[in-house]
Structure 1
Amino acid sequence: MVVVGAGMAGVQTAVALREHGFTGSVTLVGAEPHQPYDRPPLSKAVLLGTAEHSAFDVDFDGLGIGLELGREVLGLRPGDHELDTAAGPVPYDVLVLATGAEPIRLPGTDGVPGVHLLRTLDDAERLRPVLARQHDIVVVGAGWIGAEFATAAREAGCAVTVVEAADRPLAGTLPAEVAAPMAAWYADSGAVLRTHARVEHVEPGAVVLDDGTRIPAGAVVVGVGARPATGWLAGSGVELGARGEVVADAHLRTSASDVYAVGDCASFPSARYGERLLVHHWDNALQGPRVVAANIVGSATGQPDAVYDPVPYFWSEQFGRFVQYAGHHARADRTVWRGAPSGPAWTVCWLREGRLVALLAVGRPRDLAQGRRLIGAGTAMDPELLADPARPLKAATVG
């Protein structure tokens, strides 16, 4: 067994294989030289210097998992069952692709001093002294990572300006009526949010917008999204989707024999939502490996294939608020609010044909916990009862 990628999805796949009784060799290949680590703390504790690292608490030696770290994979030859690396080929019997996603770079910023990304431990280590010196910081992009970094920068005492090309935060993720109220969170924290602000170019010490506005910047942090880290698969014959992701089936198998894919780099068909999902969140990288491991071990013992069709889930801590989301709202036909978005705690529920398909909870973890189960069960809801924030979510079911 060879697993490519030493992030959450890769590590959990290796561990799950042992938990499912796999006794053969397991090798985890990672491009970074560091001991495998978790990413969510990078934008919080590691960035602010309250934690030195976020290494996984996994006894790799005790589990018999071999680590090949600092070894970048350059290509895949499925016909030969080999990976290509600068240090030579790596043969496999079964391969799991878990290479995750990589941040999208702002065009024209390569080599410009003071421009940063936040994806890896090294990125966080480079940004830590920037925050400690309390630079004026410009964040490009008001998505999840932009908001989380802006939160940390304000906690560190930095002056923060966030520029967003769209008309609101999280424009690519949430509907306007849900995302627009979040704009006030920036001002509440002392950060400046500039929407309809498209970056023309970045120069040392400043960000220049397309209307000529020049914003002073001791440092610039780019958070405009991420794409599957699959460029190295070009020419391999492994099917890639329109978003550059590995196309996996309902069992997380790829188009290549003996090759699976899991986590941020792969999409999967969801019978629950009637479309193919590409989920770039921590929980997906935690849940998918269990299905991969079960199917790898099960294929050798004649067990039926496990199907991967989760209720997607993620969370974000920003501007003193705990934001949680479960489900997938793209095809919802009704939106129900529980509480006013001007308040400290509220929830938005999305229904399709009367059934709960997604919800966003701000400071209401009980709504999220109950709603996630109701989504998984495909439960029908009474919209009038659902709209009462004093009523438990589970008490608004029909029947």
Structure 2
Amino acid sequence: MSEQRMRTDQDQGQDQGQGQSHSQGQEQSPRRTEQPRVVIVGAGMAGVQTAVALREKGYGGPVTLIGAEPHPPYDRPPLSKAVLLGQAAGSAFDIDFEGLTVDLRLGLEVTGLRASARELDTPAGPVPYDILVIATGAEPVPLPGTEDLAHVHLLRTLDDAERLRPILEQRQEIVVVGAGWIGAEFATAARTAGCVVTVVEAADAPFAGALPAEVAAPMADWYAESGAELLTHARVAGVEPGTVVLADGRQLPADAVVVGIGARPATGWLAGSGIALGPDGSVTADERLRTSLPEVYAVGDCASFPSTRYGERLLVHHWDNALQGPRTVAAQVIGETEQVYDPVPYFWSEQFGRFVQYAGHHEFADTLVWRGDPAGAAWSVVWLRGEVLVGLLAVGRPRDLAQGRKLIDTGARLDRERAADPAVPLRKAVV
């Protein structure tokens, strides 16, 4: 695999003092005479922001950022929007890595971790580290049996978007498997381009597993409004050239198939490393994003963390998590060990002409309160546990989201009747 490398002066700041970090159940490492080498694996949002946060906090030791893709580090949300539609050539981060003295190594795949030697295995040879940050993100789940079919696509990387762009330009007939967030965003772009779009979903409503069916059901109408066809209770039995075959025997014409059935932590390269992984494949970080190995941290889509706020371990596959978590990691590295990570999860999606935002975690809520008519252009839903606001979904109501996110963070209690009135600002529903 090719390797692109930006050389920097790694001796800068070597004598400025000692960086510190800690690990679950581990004693602090012996004192060093120079600042430790920080190596970050993964050049997506989480990895890039970790490097930036370290420099913003004054860390002067050597920082290496390793990315498996050959492209300069880029933001992912535009891939399903402007990049896919040809409205932007790319979405590279506007960051001066050379100015930050970050050693950027691109097109380099990390294949293993040898913790006893504090080395990473790569095709270009071992990469030593003193402090390691795992930020390898998530990878899309493929549709079984279709991995080698040229007309079946995933949408996760810049190369994926580039392969899909001409399909949209040619206005081909497309079947999307999965009516989750990625499926909805791709269907939106494909309809904007004038493609014939059919979305196949095994559940009884879109966003299965992410939202309760009663909340997701009204969102199914958005597909028909856009000109896309949504088939629920529909399972894919097989994919043939030009056709998707459903379990009930129906055959759907398909010049291309786009799969959006979920993502899983990209942690396969950690097999045999001794690092603790959860049943979902995530690196099980603690409340300070430390892993089970000494001076190894994990952040972003590949890491789960315990939430005191919600009383369970969370695995959050969203942009804001990859933006916020690095600040905690950087704090640990420079010795600000009192900082813990317990955010209010947040994400957004642009689909079918609507801006959808979500904050919190509604899994253990006992009350759902509607704010507005879900058949309208703007409405929201709040989830309460007792009287405490724990989650909120806002469609075209950004003020609800902004206020609700702050109220979730403070554990505010709401009056249900006032919360149900869309004319009443959420902050005025606090009791």
Which TM-score band (shorter chain)? Answer: over 0.9
Residue aligning to 2:343: 310
Residue aligning to 1:367: 400
Residue aligning to 2:108: 71
Q: Give a deviation string over 1:322-357, Cα, whole Å, max 9, x none.
A: 000000000001111100111110000000121100
Residue aligning to 1:388: 421
8 Å Cα contact 1:113-1:204 kept in structure 2:
no
SS of alignment partner, residue 120 of structure 2: strand
Alignment of 1:323-338 (within 5 A): 323-338=356-371
Residue aligning to 1:166: 203
Residue aligning to 1:38: 75
Normalising by the residue count of structure 1, what TM-score does the alignment of the two structures yield?
Answer: 0.98
Residue aligning to 1:242: 279
Q: Mind listing any 5+ residue stretches in structure 1 that lack a counterpart? A: none
Q: Mind listing any 5+ residue stretches in structure 2 that lack a counterpart? A: 1-37
- Structure 2 residue identity aligned to 1:25: P
- Structure 1 residue identity aligned to 2:388: R
Cα drift, residue 271 of structure 1:
0.2
Residue aligning to 1:196: 233
Alignment of 1:43-62 (within 5 A): 43-62=80-99
Q: Give a deviation string over 1:266-290, Cα, whole Å, max 9, x none.
A: 0000000000000000000000000
1:11 is the counterpart of 2:44: no
Matched residues in 2 for 1:208 and 1:228: separation?
29
Residue aligning to 1:102: 139
SS of alignment partner, residue 62 of structure 1: coil
Residue aligning to 1:349: 382
Matched residues in 2 for 1:99 and 1:123: separation?
17
More helix, by proportion:
1
Matched residues in 2 for 1:370 and 1:269: separation?
25
Matched residues in 2 for 1:68 and 1:310: separation?
30
Matched residues in 1 for 2:121 and 2:337: separation?
32
Cα drift, residue 111 of structure 1:
1.7
1:296 is the counterpart of 2:333: yes
SS of alignment partner, residue 295 of structure 1: helix
Aligned length: 394
Matched residues in 1 for 2:385 and 2:105: separation?
46
Cα drift, residue 374 of structure 1:
0.2
Residue aligning to 1:322: 355
8 Å Cα contact 1:18-1:63 kept in structure 2:
yes
Residue aligning to 2:119: 82
Runs of 4+ in 1 over 4 A off after TM superposition: none
Residue aligning to 1:218: 255
Cα drift, residue 304 of structure 1:
3.6
Residue aligning to 2:172: 135
Cα drift, residue 112 of structure 1:
1.4
8 Å Cα contact 1:47-1:128 kept in structure 2:
yes
8 Å Cα contact 1:198-1:209 kept in structure 2:
yes
Residue aligning to 1:184: 221
Normalising by the residue count of structure 2, what TM-score does the alignment of the two structures yield?
Answer: 0.91
Cα drift, residue 113 of structure 1:
2.6
Q: Give a deviation string over 1:66-95, Cα, whole Å, max 9, x none.
A: 111000000001111110011110000000
8 Å Cα contact 2:331-2:339 kept in structure 1:
yes
Alignment of 1:257-296 (within 5 A): 257-296=294-333
- Structure 2 residue identity aligned to 1:347: S
SS of alignment partner, residue 350 of structure 1: strand
Cα drift, residue 172 of structure 1:
1.1
